[in-house]
A = this chain, B = another copy of it.
Amino acid sequence: MRSVTCTAPVNIAVIKYWGKRDETLILPINSSLSVTLGQNELRAKTTVATSKSFKEDKIWLNGKEQSVESPRIQNVLKEIRHRTRKRSTGDVRDETLNMKVHICSENNFPTAAGLASSAAGYACLVYSLAKLFGVKGEISEVARQGSGSACRSVYGGFVLWDMGKDESGKDSLAKQVAPADHWPQLRILILVVSDQKKHTSSTEGMQTSVKTSELLQKRVDVVPQRVEDMVDAIDNKDFQKFAEITMKESNQFHAVCLDTYPPISYMTDTSRQIVRLVHAFNKQCTNTKVAYTFDAGPNACLYLLEEDVARVVSLIKYYFPTSDNNTDLEVRGLSVESSSVEEHINNFDMPQTPDAIKYIIHTQVRPDAVKYVIHTEVPGSSVHTVPMKIRVRIDLQ
């Protein structure tokens, strides 16, 4: 049995992807731009294996076997095998071509947290398969066909997914607009909201928006300028501009969801309270210090600079305490110093809401995109032992 293990990061869009012009190739109606997060805090890890003994393609997500029949997984497998076949040179890959694949993927963060894991997952799957089958070239095009936003997790730092023009999708690719070390002061706080309801899947949601939202077209006209402005903001490390575009983008995306029929609401009262807190804090600082963005769920992702992290975290801990007076709201990931918030509390007209936030993840922009972890050859394995072996190997990382 030959196997390859890779990891891939999560990316959080500051210019949102919402709406496809081609459902099969996954071609978007607008370009999007995202920041790739550190893998220590959030990453998907995938092992793919081939063996003569495998009778069928199989997939395990976080230890549970899933149907491999999902069109997206089929897209990816077909595309990778197609590319392998094209460049097959009569070596080992010829036989792998006829072998079935076992896929085992796990995240280092709870999927229940409602964090978009499909981007990291598909980026990781595609990259691992490419390594296994020795496929070279543009991976983001294949990742895109698994999950649109996955193409952005192929690169680290600041990544633009150019919508492209071509019907074939060959120019609808992700590219890095700036490396992570271009703006090392940037920090990200993910506020995991407690009440994770069942949400409209983004796939279904964006389909309905394209069909029913009258405002979506206007948004599509607006985005190109926003992308330009955002690229400038990043080039110049202009946080104010970066933050303002990020917030307006998030709001407009959710406005389009609300204009969809029936309406889609991903944000909750807690999400809105976070929005109010951010605007109140910025107003008091007479300077945009923090930006929020929300994806297809209630969790907030805050962008801010290293120097403000301590104050902002203390503020969040104050307004979203735990009902247990002895324990503070938990912060995972990068460490945070404590700081006083007196100056703010007195001036904000906001209630404290216990247990509304489950925990905070503190992370940063990182250079590491999808990466290769390990490649092994295990003599003769069986369908049943593979996932275990793979998981053992994963645990060793």
Contacts and interface: CB of A to CB of B under 8 A. Distances in A.
Interface of A: 198, 214-215, 217-219, 222, 244, 247-248, 251-252, 254-256, 258-263, 265, 268-269, 272, 275, 279, 349
Given A214-B218, A269-B268, A269-B269, A279 B259 contact: no
A251 B247 contact: no
Nearest to A219: B215
Contacts of A269: 268-269
B252 A215 contact: yes
A223 B259 CA distance: 14
A261 B251 CA distance: 8
Contacts of A265: 272, 275
Nearest to A279: B262
Nearest to A349: B198
A42 B69 CA distance: 58
A60 B256 CA distance: 43
Given A268-B269, A269-B269, 5 more contacts: A198-B349, A215-B218, A251-B263, A252-B259, A255-B258
The 3 closest A-B pairs by CB, nearest first: A218-B218, A255-B259, A255-B255
A263 B267 CA distance: 13
A251 B256 CA distance: 10
Given A215-B215, A218-B214, A218-B215, A259 B268 contact: no
A359 to B, nearest CB: 21
Contacts of A262: 275, 279
A219 to B, nearest CB: 7
Contacts of A258: 251-252, 254-255, 258
A198 B244 CA distance: 25
A262 B248 CA distance: 8
A217 B214 contact: no
A224 to B, nearest CB: 13
A201 to B, nearest CB: 15
Nearest to A250: B263
Contact of A214 (B198, B222, B244): B222
A261 B252 CA distance: 10
Nearest to A195: B269
A280 to B, nearest CB: 9
A251 B349 CA distance: 28
A263 B269 CA distance: 13
A219 B256 CA distance: 12
A91 B261 CA distance: 60
Contacts of A214: 218-219, 222, 252
A201 B64 CA distance: 51
- Among A252, A263, A275, A279, chain B packs the most CB atoms within 10 A around the CB of A263
Contacts of A256: 215, 255
A204 to B, nearest CB: 14
